[in-house]
Amino acid sequence: MPSCWTRREALLGAAALLTATRSSAQLPGDPSLDARSLTSFVDPLPLPELLKATSPNHYAITMQPRLSRLHRDLPLTRAWSYGSSAVPPLIEARKDQPTTVEWINALPETPLISHQGFMVMDAHPGESPCRTSPHLHGAHVDTKNDGFPENWFAPGHSYTCHYPNAQDAMALWFHDHAMGVNRFNIYAGLSGMYLLRDEQEAALNLPRGKYEIPLMLCDRILTKDAQLYYPNPEQTGDEEDEFYGDAMLVNGKIQPFCDVEARRYRLRLFNTANARTFPLQFSNHLPFHIIGSDQGLLAAPVATTRFDLAPGERADVIVDFSQTRGETFQLIGDGFDLMQFRVSAQRSQDESTLPKQLRTITRIAENTATRTRLLTLAEYGENMVMLLNGKFWHEPVTEIVQAGSTEIWQLANLSDDMHPIHLHAVRFQILDRRTINVPAYFATGRVEYTGPVTPPLPWERGWKDLVQCPPRSITRIIVPFAAKPGRYVWHCHILEHEANDMMRPFDVVV
Ligand SMILES: [Cu+2]
């Protein structure tokens, strides 16, 4: 199978090539390491490296190979990174102070994860396998600064992006978005964090400095010699589906531990996994006070002992460790211990607060929407074809919106999978969800509701840029398209879905 081919060629050949049944993990001859055999909680949690500007508000970030030790008992792992550090990079920016980043592709000509055997969406003739297109997820920028998938550049080239930062305080993250290959590039390590600050957030007296800890969560599979392994359909005889690993990494370490004082901390959580949603909870059921979601602070904190963080989503939480002095417990995600917290026995001085109110969030009235669209999320046949609105990436643009207008998008998930849907360049609010009769929809094209209207979860009532669309349901979002005219994308953030073809352009026009 060629490493790069178009979707149509892929469709013709896929049925014949990808009919083998799913193989189970740890077969004889399986190259992968059983990560669960590693001793848990032996490495301290690495803190991200705060990137230094080369001149005021200007960064030069080199994408390059590096070696890192994922666990005390493993040899070094080859990876790719933004910058030279073995820990995840972090940029801090301030509202209304624009930053520029020169993204430098110094990657080799050969991918770290071989593309051989995959259906790789065609980028352009002569495309480089190690092409990159850095995207600042959550940023409101114009097309040329947005990491548009086809706006990629090859090793030996660089590209400078301007980020106006004209947004409220929030956690963004940067990751690769190059056409057809971003699932491999992100898996190899091309992701980093970007915290935008503003006066309003600063006035809240939230835990700060060493009491604010960014946590980047993802899963990987390692080979027996500790190299990154990504199941290849040619070897496994399995179709590419969603990637799920058994090695849980927090800030680039497998199951680290973190010593904390008995006081409040602010944890900034990022799910950077290819496909895994992390239902998060502490092993002792200590509550999270969720204060923010994708696009910044909520109106008020919401206490919960468990919540789901989908790929691409962020959560801003306050955890009060003073309630658990001297205790040791785990952060659990999807049945795995992700990391361990060890709380000191002595009470600490804590000047921070957990405010009752955070900011004003005005709910957008539905009658301000000038257009409502019904957009399907569906999987077709056995061939790993997943489409938005029944269209492949390369078909003509169908979502054309007026700049400045507000629309309601009814995301009708006709599949049995949850799809985390992300829109670039805008923020939106979740209206509600409601289950539908899928066979009836396929038969008649009409929506027949089967359950009551479900409002968004309490921590989903702020501004979002990604929405979890549960199976067999319509999820409604209301979107003010405040973006500049241009072409952007909306897509599923399960990266294997996005690549197969759950990504579509949308145009903002005047
Ligand atoms: Cu999906």
Output the CA 379–ligand 1 centroid distance in Å: 9
Output the CA 309–ligand 1 centroid distance in Å: 14
* Residues 292-323: tens digit of each pLDDT: 999 999 999 999 999 999 999 999 999 999 99
Cβ(231)–Cβ(113) under 8 Å?
no
Do β-strands 212-222 and 228-229 pair in parallel, antiparallel, or remain unpaired?
Answer: antiparallel
CA distances from 178 to 29, 157, 433 (A): 33, 14, 32
pLDDT tier, 8 (very low <50, low <70, confident <90, very high otherwise): very low
Q: What is the pLDDT of residue 373?
A: 98
Output the CA 417–ligand 1 centroid distance in Å: 7
Q: What is the pLDDT of residue 13?
A: 35
- State which amino acid sits at residue 96: D
Q: Examine the pLDDT at 19 and tell me if it is beyond 60.
A: no
Q: What is the pLDDT of residue 29?
A: 62
Do the domains 366-509 and 209-347 match in fold? yes
Query: Is residue 324 classed as helix, strand or coil in its secondary structure?
Result: helix
Which architecture characterizes domain 366-509 according to CATH? Sandwich (2.60)
Q: Examine the pLDDT at 175 and tell me if it is beyond 60.
A: yes
Q: Examine the pLDDT at 454 and tell me if it is beyond 90.
A: yes
Output the CA 203–ligand 1 centroid distance in Å: 38
* Residues 409-447: tens digit of each pLDDT: 999 999 999 999 999 999 999 999 999 999 999 999 999
Q: Examine the pLDDT at 12 and tell me if it is beyond 90.
A: no
Output the CA 419–ligand 1 centroid distance in Å: 4
Q: Examine the pLDDT at 356 and tell me if it is beyond 60.
A: yes
CA distances from 464 to 323, 361, 382 (A): 31, 12, 32
Q: What is the pLDDT of residue 3?
A: 32
Q: What is the pLDDT of residue 122?
A: 67
Distance of alpha carbon 251 from its chain centroid, rounded?
A: 14
Neighbours of ion ligand 1 (CB under 5 A): 419, 492, 494, 497
Q: What is the pLDDT of residue 345?
A: 97
Output the CA 307–ligand 1 centroid distance in Å: 19
Output the CA 155–ligand 1 centroid distance in Å: 29
* Residues 193-245: tens digit of each pLDDT: 999 999 999 999 999 999 999 999 999 999 999 999 999 888 877 777 899 99
For the segment 96-100, the average pLDDT, to the nearest whole number, is 98
Output the CA 460–ligand 1 centroid distance in Å: 19
Q: What is the pLDDT of residue 25?
A: 47
Output the CA 422–ligand 1 centroid distance in Å: 10
Output the CA 242–ligand 1 centroid distance in Å: 9
pLDDT tier, 123 (very low <50, low <70, confident <90, very high otherwise): low
Pair of tokens at residue 169: 């305080």
Least confident of 25-39, 121-135, 189-203, 450-464: 25-39
Give CA–CA dist 175/63, Å, rounded: 11
Output the CA 498–ligand 1 centroid distance in Å: 7
pLDDT over 70, % of the chain: 93
Does the predicted model carry a pTM greater than 0.85? yes
DSSP label at 257? E
Output the CA 240–ligand 1 centroid distance in Å: 13
Q: Where are the domains of the chain?
A: 7-21+45-199, 209-347, 366-509
Output the CA 5–ligand 1 centroid distance in Å: 21
CATH number of 7-21+45-199: 2.60.40.420
Provide the mean pLDDT of the chain.
92
For the segment 468-496, the average pLDDT, to the nearest whole number, is 98
pLDDT tier, 407 (very low <50, low <70, confident <90, very high otherwise): very high
Residue 217's contacts (CB-CB under 8 Å, 6 or more residues apart) are 248, 249, 250, 269, 270, 271, 272, 273, 278, 309, 333, 338
* Residues 49-66: tens digit of each pLDDT: 999 999 999 999 999 999
Least confident of 182-196, 223-237, 247-261: 223-237
Q: Examine the pLDDT at 7 and tell me if it is beyond 90.
A: no
CATH number of 209-347: 2.60.40.420
Per-residue three-class SS string for 263-296 = CEEEEEEEECCCCCCEEEEECCCCCEEEEEECCE
Q: What is the pLDDT of residue 4?
A: 33
